[in-house]
């Protein structure tokens, strides 16, 4: 059964690029373009991993992360943050809220896939 990754990212090009990379590796990718729909899809689609952006309109990534971790349905899903914010305080905050990884943008897509695979096995 193919693994499923939810991409919560408001920037369509980035989301699309990520989908491409994941699908090349045989991983199913679902895209959500804002926090609310992200949470909803996380609950309904039950992904094996979530790639989460931080800088999003309306609901920010940290809030989404908090909600996902609070909800028993989604709390077990590993989360990898992918963000333009590279400050240490952001990294610490993300990790303390329950994210498994914090990857700064821009990144090498193949290295990211390697990391994702680690959580899918």
Partner 1 sequence: MLREREVEKIKAYIRLKWWALLVIFLVVVIETLLRATGLMAMLSTYAGVSLAAAINLILDIQTRRGKYSLSLLYLSLGFDLLIITTVLYFSGGPENSWWFMPVLVIFIAGYIFDQKTALAYALLAFLALSLIFSLEYSKLIPHFSVYAFPASHWMNRVFLTDYALGMLLLYSMGALISGYFNRLTERSADQLEKTLASTLVAKEEAVSSRKALMNVMEDLNKAKDELEIRVRERTAELEDAKANLEKRVAERTADLEKARRAVQHMLKDLKEDMVKLQAIDRMKTEFLSMVSHELRTPLTPIKGYLSLLLKGKMGKFPPKSQKALNVLNMQSTHLHTLIDSMLDISRIELGKPIPTIKESLSIKAIIQEVADAMEILAEEREHHLMVDLSKDLPDITGDVIKLKRVITNLLGNAIKFTKKGGEIKVRAFAENLKIRVEVIDNGIGIAKENIEKVFEKFHQVDSSFTRSAGGIGMGLTLARELVELHGGKLWVESEGLEKGSKFIFTLPVKGGV
Q: Site residues (CB under 8 A) for partner 1?
A: 11, 13-14, 16-18, 20-21, 24, 55, 84-88, 91, 104-110
Min CB(87)–partner 1 separation in Å: 7
Considering the complex, state which of residue 1 and residue 96 has its C-beta at the smaller distance from partner 1. 96
Within 10 angstroms of residue 92's Cβ, the number of other Cβ atoms is: 11
Widest CA span in the chain: 38
Whichever of 69 and 109 has its CB closer to partner 1, that residue is: 109
Q: Classify residue 25 by its DSSP letter.
A: T
Neighbours of 110 (CB within 10 A): 11
40 or 110: whose CB is closer to partner 1? Answer: 110
Beta strands in 1-121 (DSSP E): 4-8, 28-32, 49-52, 79-83, 101-104
Smallest distance from the beta carbon of 49 to partner 1, in angstroms? 18
Q: Rounded to whole angstroms, how far apart are CA atoms 39 and 84? A: 21
User: Could you tell me the smallest distance in angstroms from the CB atom of residue 53 to partner 1?
Assistant: 9
CB of 97 to partner 1, least distance (A): 18
């Amino acid at each position: 059964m193919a693994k499923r990754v939810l991409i919560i990212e408001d920037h369509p090009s980035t989301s699309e690029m990520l989908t491409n990379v994941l699908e090349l590796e045989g991983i199913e990718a679902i895209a959500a373009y804002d926090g609310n729909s992200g949470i909803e899809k996380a609950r309904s689609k039950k992904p094996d991993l979530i790639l989460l952006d931080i800088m999003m309109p309306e609901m920010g990534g940290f809030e989404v992360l908090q909600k996902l971790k609070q909800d028993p349905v989604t709390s077990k899903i590993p989360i990898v943050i992918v963000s333009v914010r590279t400050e240490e305080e952001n990294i610490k905050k993300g990790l303390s809220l329950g994210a498994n990884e914090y990857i700064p943008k821009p990144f090498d897509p193949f290295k990211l896939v390697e990391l994702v695979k680690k959580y899918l096995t």
